Amino acid sequence: MDIIIDDLTGPKVVALIGEHLQDMASLSPPESTHALDLDNLKKPEITFWSGWEQDELVGCGAMKELDRQHGEIKSMRTSSSHQRKGVAKRILEHIIEEAKRRGYQRVSLETGSMEAFEPARRLYASFGFQYCQPFSDYIEDPNSVFMTKEL
């Protein structure tokens, strides 16, 4: 898999982000949906990566710089035709390596508390993420789970 920094303009990436937003909206109430749209993913504090096998988009992920020592993982998504093939694992490894390269002390994330998010929570736990209190601008929410990893 080739993982590249993406400018979020290609139709395949736009479609995957659209699928991600639609899925998140179907799983969580609006006040608990923290997925970023294309405009917000293009902000300067966010780096967005797409994963490719030849010309096929297999997944994506992003990292938001919260401060010079803390990054937040955002927009982790595997293309529906490539689930359970290790795509999310590879993209997460890439993001963690980039966080270390930047000198971050930790990376954190928010994900859903519902059953549909269990595979994501297991993946993050397998990388050493631990449950934590809300960070940054998040607040306690029964529909959200917060996790962090010291680097």
Asked whether the whole model's pTM tops 0.85, one would answer yes
Tokens of 102: 């930047």
Q: DSSP for 53-106?
A: ETTEEEEEEEEEEEETTEEEEEEEEE-GGGTTSSHHHHHHHHHHHHHHHHT-SE
Helices (H) and strands (E) in the chain, counts: 4, 7
The pLDDT score that the predictor gives to residue 26 is: 92
Each residue's pLDDT expressed in tens, for the chain with a length of 151 residues: 999 999 999 999 999 999 999 999 999 998 999 999 999 999 999 999 999 999 999 999 999 999 999 999 999 999 989 988 999 999 999 999 999 999 999 999 999 999 999 999 999 999 999 999 999 999 999 999 999 999 9
Angstrom distance (rounded) from CA 65 to CA 48: 12
pLDDT, residue 148, reads: 98
Q: Specify the pLDDT at position 57.
A: 98
Distance separating alpha carbons of residues 104 and 135, to the nearest angstrom:
15
pLDDT value of residue 141: 96
pLDDT of residue 84: 87
